[in-house]
Amino acid sequence: MNSFLTFLKKPTTITGIVIAIVFQLVFGLVWMSGYSGVSDRFNQLNVGIVALDQNSGPTIAEQLQKNLPFKTELIPDETDARTKLDTRALHMLVIIPMDFTEQLRSGQHPAGLQFVYNESNPSMIRTIMKNAANTITTMINAQATLMSAQSILTQLKMPKEQIDPIAVGMAQRVAADETSIHPVKDVSNQMIPMMMVLASYVGAMIMGMNIQISVNTLQAQGTSKWTLLINRSILNIVSALIITLIGAATVMAMDGAFTQGFLTFWLFEAFFMWVFMLMAQWFLIAFGNAGMLFNIIALSVQLVTSGAIIPRELINTAYHNISNVMPATYAVQGLMNVLYGGPSISEASTMLLAITGTLIVLTIVVVAIPRGKKIAIEAQQSAIQKSNA
């Protein structure tokens, strides 16, 4: 017990725990507040409309201005519009070509409605605008079909009061019936899995680095490496529970969604953060200061392969295979189920448990390996430098 208290009272140990807590607080507060209400502000995006066709162009432009959920600007000059798009004053440009009406009347091939994007923008803008382009095309196509049907029925000398109902029926043969399960109410909630993985692993990594300094200091003073490992293991478990309780409470305070309850979210986050601690400390125990380099690599790989940013199905085979043994993969899977809804977290927890067992065995093996004189000298030098500081 005395050795544990000595270990806990080391300034580097306390600093490591505090930094891990700060990461949870800062990421939770900044990300949740920063991304809050993003989907409600899509109407701040700008779309320019250039109607070169003087026949149906003005009518189509008017319809777009009424129906699009964005700020729209009718621009008479195409060159001016392209300049605004290039300077990001516009996020998309809709051009109604000069011969648009003529193409509609000829019926020989589909009339071309031009959409111009500036790809030098955040990926979300590109996705939103391309979805909007599909919606606009569907809307204009339905209107053109309606007009064609009305024209044909008029030529057949059908009574005027019957033309519109029949034409509408001809133009709208299929209607989309969309249903979603487990809806996510805001972008801020959608960002939680990536935020929690990033905050937890970075916190575990820096905490592990500080604790390693404490371990080196006490080991140089004669404390048994097994005593230090046991003390470190206890500290990791207790710290994971306390740190993630603060992180989970922050997410809840910022209106985070918990479909499986706060307790499940907290305990699951504590579990995968503990696994992150084991992983981060293994690199440090095995490789010393160079272990931080491996931790940075591990963080980068897990952000890419976990599925928090890009679906795992879309990454290449090599990274997909790596993701199968990375704890962040199962942390993200479990978080999505806890936050948004889905099956229980038993499968993700089982995989994390298997990774935990592997890391514990690897840690015991590395600690059991006799350390050479060089490592002992490095530990002593680290202790001396720390005491001098």
Q: What is the pLDDT of residues 92-102, one digit of tens each?
A: 999 999 988 88
How many helices and strands, by DSSP H and E, does the chain display? 16, 4
Q: What is the pLDDT of residues 218-258, one digit of tens each?
A: 988 888 999 999 999 999 999 999 999 999 999 999 888 88
CATH number of the domain enclosing 60? 3.40.1710.10
Helical segments of 35-77, H only: 57-67
Helix (H) or strand (E) segment spanning residue 93: strand 92-96
Given a cut of 60, is residue 326 above it in pLDDT?
Answer: yes
Within 13 Å and on the Cβ side, how many CA atoms surround 131?
A: 9
pTM comes to: 0.83
Residues 6+ apart with CB under 8 A from 8: 14, 231, 235
Mean local confidence (pLDDT), 99-107 = 77
User: What's the total number of domains in the chain?
Assistant: 2
Pick the last residue of a domain from 120, 141, 171. Answer: 171
Rounded to the nearest integer, the mean pLDDT of the chain is 87
- 47 in the same domain as 26: no
Q: Residue 261's CB: how many other CB atoms inside 10 A?
A: 10
- 371 in the same domain as 251: yes
- 280 in the same domain as 163: no
Give residue 174's region: left, alpha or beta (phi > 0; psi -120 to 50).
Answer: beta
One-letter amino acid identity for 268? F
Going by the DSSP 8-state scheme, the letter that residue 324 receives in this structure is T
One-letter amino acid identity for 76? P
- 338 in the same domain as 258: yes
The dihedral built from the CA positions of residue 353, 355, 357 and 363, taken in this order, carries a sign that is negative
Given a cut of 50, is residue 160 above it in pLDDT?
Answer: yes
